[in-house]
């Protein structure tokens, strides 16, 4: 749902033109239950510049980026890294993104499980690259 927030509905954000409420349902296979997540957002784009469908597409694109960050933070423990100097953090992020992309291109859906499996036999990683 998107609503214009100008005039009497004005929010306390100087350049806000629209407010959004996004409700998503997600399934947790561990508990076999569904839950509803509500996300709120604001934008300075008017309804003429971006309608609800366009805003929803942009938010979906943003979530795909957030999924990548989530994988890097949980699977690779990127937030716990002590590398801070020079280009090392950026270089490692690039290597992690490359590894995740290669696994996805190979049809892998569980990154963490595959990394654990491949760590036990390094030839499996080479097979993914078509080297072995």
Q: φ, ψ for residue 130 (rounded to 5)?
A: 75, 20
Contacts of 41 (CB under 8 A, 6+ apart): 19, 20, 22, 55, 59
User: What's the burial of 2, exposed, middle or buried (CB within 10 Å: 0-12/13-18/19+)?
Assistant: buried
List pLDDT tens digits, range 34-88: 999 888 888 888 888 888 888 888 887 777 777 888 888 888 888 777 877 888 8
Pairs from 107-114 (Cβ < 8 Å, separation ≥ 24): 111/71, 111/75, 112/74, 112/75
What is the pTM for the complete model shown?
0.55
- Give the torsion through C-alpha atoms of 23, 28, 32, 36, to 10 deg: -10
List pLDDT tens digits, range 5-26: 666 556 667 778 888 888 889 8
**Helix, strand or coil, per DSSP, at residue 48:** coil
Give the residue ranges of DSSP H helices in the chain. Answer: 52-74, 88-105, 111-120, 122-129
- Give the per-residue pLDDT at 1: 64
The mean per-residue pLDDT over the stretch 88-110 comes to 88
Number of residues in the chain: 132
């Amino acid at each position: 749902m998107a609503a214009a927030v100008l005039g009497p509905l004005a929010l306390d954000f100087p350049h806000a033109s629209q407010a959004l409420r996004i409700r998503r349902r997600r399934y947790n296979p561990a508990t076999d239950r569904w839950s509803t997540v509500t996300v709120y957002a604001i934008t300075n784009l008017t309804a003429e510049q971006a309608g609800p469908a366009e805003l929803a597409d942009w938010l979906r694109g943003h979530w795909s980026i957030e999924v990548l960050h989530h994988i890097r933070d949980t699977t690779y423990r990127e937030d716990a890294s002590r590398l801070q100097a020079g280009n090392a953090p950026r270089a490692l992020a690039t290597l992690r993104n490359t590894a995740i992309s290669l696994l996805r291109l190979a049809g892998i859906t569980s990154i963490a499980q595959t990394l654990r499996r491949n760590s036990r036999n390094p030839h499996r990683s080479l097979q993914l690259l078509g080297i072995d």
